[in-house]
Amino acid sequence: MTTRSKIIYTLTDEAPALATYSLLPVVKAFTASSDIAVETRDISLAGRILALFPEFLTDAQKQGDHLAELGALATTPEANIIKLPNISASVPQLKAAIKELQSQGYALPDYPDTGDSAEVRDIRSRYDKVKGSAVNPVLREGNSDRRAPLSVKNYARKHPHKMGAWAADSKSHVAHMSSGDFYGSEKAALIEANGSVKIELIGADGSTTVLKEKTSVLADEVLDCSVLSKKALRSFISAEIEDAKKQGVLFSVHLKATMMKVSDPIIFGQIVAEFYKSALDKHAAALQEAGFNLNNGIGDLYSSIKKLPADKQAEIEADIKAVYAERPALAMVNSDKGITNLHVPSDVIVDASMPAMIRDSGKMWNTAGELQDAKAVIPDRCYASIYQAVIEDCKANGAFNPTTMGSVPNVGLMAQKAEEYGSHDKTFQIQANGVVRVSDVNGKVLMEQQVEEGDIFRMCQTKDAPIQDWVKLAVNRARLSDTPAVFWLDPARAHDAEMIKKVEKYLKDHDTSGLDIRVLSPVEAIKFSLARIRDGKDTISVTGNVLRDYLTDLFPIMELGTSAKMLSIVPLMNGGGLFETGAGGSAPKHVQQLVEENFLRWDSLGEFLALAASLEHLGNTYNNPKALVLSKTLDEATGQFLDNDKSPARKVGGIDNRGSHFYLALYWAQALAAQTDDAALQAQFAPLAKALSDNEAKIVAELGAVQGKPAEIGGYYAPDKALTEKVMRPSETLNAALASLV
């Protein structure tokens, strides 16, 4: 007898949420007889907003805080969570979601841009809890192991995606600052004993402002702090705008304004300010009156000026247009709709956008909808140089070849909000010139930074237990896959220098005999890894939190065409499992395509891989042999799925996400019918395998018949459940076959 064990499947946003309407019924039907409960929790942006404001909602509208519940679960050995990508909302997205919910009858307060009353501050601080990357850091109570399983790598070799050719004289390049950035100012401190630290600004006038009263610290953790100078940033941007114009390349900006939700919108805002300087300076007073916020992008200008008189609006719009004539051409997000790189801070996210540029011959889209060489502005030097190294490699050696290239899996440090991605509550835009001091409870100054008004100060924490776990994970991976592992750490950064000492120390806790484990700076590490992948060889990247994010889009996008095909496991430090699906995001473009032509090109391979890993974990932790049979057969089904190339096509006419789920169900049922480890499962699934295979043509036709026409799902952030279910489950024959199982 087994204990009834549970898998939590998360409900998120955009394309993955739509795909769930079709895939989850398959998962539930297949697991129902195996003593496995599959439950859902809503961590969508809309769901998280509703959970914030119970007093504004009717009883029927109220929603519990599922994210907090899962965050607590993630610290227990029982956790078994399948986490799909979710929206990390910028302010414009947050406002759009609020507006949509209000229109659906939820009496939520508006997001307050201005105002300082206690009530306004309370509302703003509640909304700020769902802003940016607010889900992943809560659930990620472990480090990450992201890789392309062999079957997926073999699939990519057999069915290579398109890679744009690279020209040796490509003008594309990365532009970064050479001083005044976070990289240049980083300081670090190793904490000796449990306690807390205080962050204060000592003004040049002698005044003291407490920036953060108390930050708890644990013995042996690494603290670091750094500053990005507003002045240096502005003069860097001004020079790069000139240079882009001179070279005739597109100007584009690549930040992580969603995950770095405090610092990067400010950097983005400064770039907007510099680019549109003449028009913004001229209309400064009117724009202030309209409530325009630079950090929300130039799109916010267009929506805020609607409040101004028509002639003023027209004047501002004309002056913005005139800017485009003087400035270099901007890289476009959507040239048909006139959406530029500087419209919204969440449209161009560095982890996905730089690899896409590299995949597309190093080019980005211009206003005519053509590809053109670009200057990719990544202001801070901490990680910018790795992309320049890839660009140089492609210029010298041409595009990478997916049929022959090796792989770069990643072991990433991320537990307990490690490094930059946990820095938001310790990041401040400085209000006056002076010195920021970080001191302990005895008043001993641990670190200090000279600052000027407008600079961004940030402090990060990296706990020791996660570092030890990360080193262990790296050694295990290197051993299991017999592959060299490289720690990407830069001795010139104060934080990394501390990390190198720890890595050297903790490697001694493991048997590393016969393993090739190195520590290289990011630029050396990427050069080493690139040379090896060109030779068809694999190299494990062992990185901190940011490079984990960047590399797990970069290499998969080059190797597999998309990071959606990645296996993405987070062994939680207290024994549970978090199974992320793919390594990419929630693909907003895909929703648009579904709504316009009832075609969803979302690839759920990441979900299939995560589910197999989750079932295996459940089988082992709850001694449930049926779960192990389900896992093994799901793996076989996924192999078959890849062999027969049943991934969604990109355009109407081929099978889409729903069709791909049908084939997974068919192959999974066939594998269950063929296995002999569990006779009951075999007997149960043989008729389903027969029904699905007998009706293959009919089901594919039913699924195909709906394509090519608009689909109505009744919302973007909070689609209507009944309408969406109808859209996502259009095959009566498939629905009836699945229903026969439960």
Q: Measure the CA–CA gap between 477 and 462, rounded to whole angstroms.
A: 22
Asked if 618 and 35 count as a contact pair (C-beta separation under 8 A), the reply is: no
| Residue 614 touching ligand AKG (CB under 6 A) | no
Distance spanning both ends of the chain, measured CA to CA: 21
Q: Measure the CA–CA gap between 630 and 32, rounded to whole angstroms.
A: 11
| Residue 88 touching ligand AKG (CB under 6 A) | yes
Identity of the residue, 149 or 422, whose beta carbon is nearer to ligand AKG in the bound complex = 422
CB of 421 to ligand AKG, least distance (A): 8
CB of 189 to ligand AKG, least distance (A): 27
Look-up of token digits 């791909």: 660
| Residue 346 touching ligand AKG (CB under 6 A) | no
Identity of the residue, 133 or 539, whose beta carbon is nearer to ligand AKG in the bound complex = 133
| Residue 549 touching ligand AKG (CB under 6 A) | yes
| Residue 50 touching ligand AKG (CB under 6 A) | no
How many helices and strands in the chain, by DSSP H and E? Answer: 28, 24
CA distances, 563 to each of 17, 364, 409, 555, 665 (Å)? 17, 19, 11, 8, 23
Query: Among ligand NDP, Mg ion, ligand AKG, none, what does residue 586 contact (CB within 5–8 Å per kind)?
Result: ligand NDP
| Residue 552 touching ligand AKG (CB under 6 A) | yes
C-alpha closest to that of 583 among 144, 33, 258, 189: 144
Q: By beta-carbon distance, which residue lies closest to ligand NDP?
A: 585
| Binding to ligand AKG, residues 583-602 (CB under 6 A) | 583
Identity of the residue, 41 or 245, whose beta carbon is nearer to ligand NDP in the bound complex = 41
Biggest CA pair distance of the chain: 82
The footprint of ligand NDP (CB under 6 A) covers 85-88, 136, 258, 346, 349, 352, 562, 564, 582, 584-590, 601-603
Within 10 Å of residue 124's Cβ, how many Cβ atoms? 17
Buried b (16+ CB within 10 A) or exposed e, 34-54: bbbebeebbbbbbbbbbbbbe
The footprint of Mg ion (CB under 5 A) covers 351, 549
CB of 251 to ligand NDP, least distance (A): 19
CB of 263 to ligand NDP, least distance (A): 15
SS3 422: helix
Count CA atoms closer than 13 A to 334's CA, side-chain side. Answer: 10
**What residues contact residue 183 under an 8 Å CB cut-off, 6+ apart?**
177, 226, 380, 381, 382, 493
Identity of the residue, 28 or 83, whose beta carbon is nearer to Mg ion in the bound complex = 83
Query: Among Mg ion, ligand AKG, ligand NDP, none, what does residue 186 contact (CB within 5–8 Å per kind)?
Result: none
CB of 133 to ligand NDP, least distance (A): 7
Q: Site mask, ligand AKG, residues 640-679, x = CB under 6 A? A: ----------------------------------------
Look-up of token digits 């996660």: 466
Q: Measure the CA–CA gap between 525 and 735, rounded to whole angstroms.
A: 50
Q: Measure the CA–CA gap between 42 and 62, rounded to whole angstroms.
A: 13
| Residue 351 touching ligand AKG (CB under 6 A) | yes
| Binding to ligand AKG, residues 133-162 (CB under 6 A) | 133, 136
Report how many residues bind ligand AKG under the rule CB under 6 A.
9
Paired with 128 in beta bridges are none
CB of 352 to Mg ion, least distance (A): 7
Identity of the residue, 543 or 624, whose beta carbon is nearer to ligand NDP in the bound complex = 543
| Residue 266 touching ligand AKG (CB under 6 A) | no
Identity of the residue, 31 or 136, whose beta carbon is nearer to ligand AKG in the bound complex = 136
Please give the residue ranges that form the binding site for ligand AKG (CB under 6 A): 88, 133, 136, 258-259, 351, 549, 552, 583
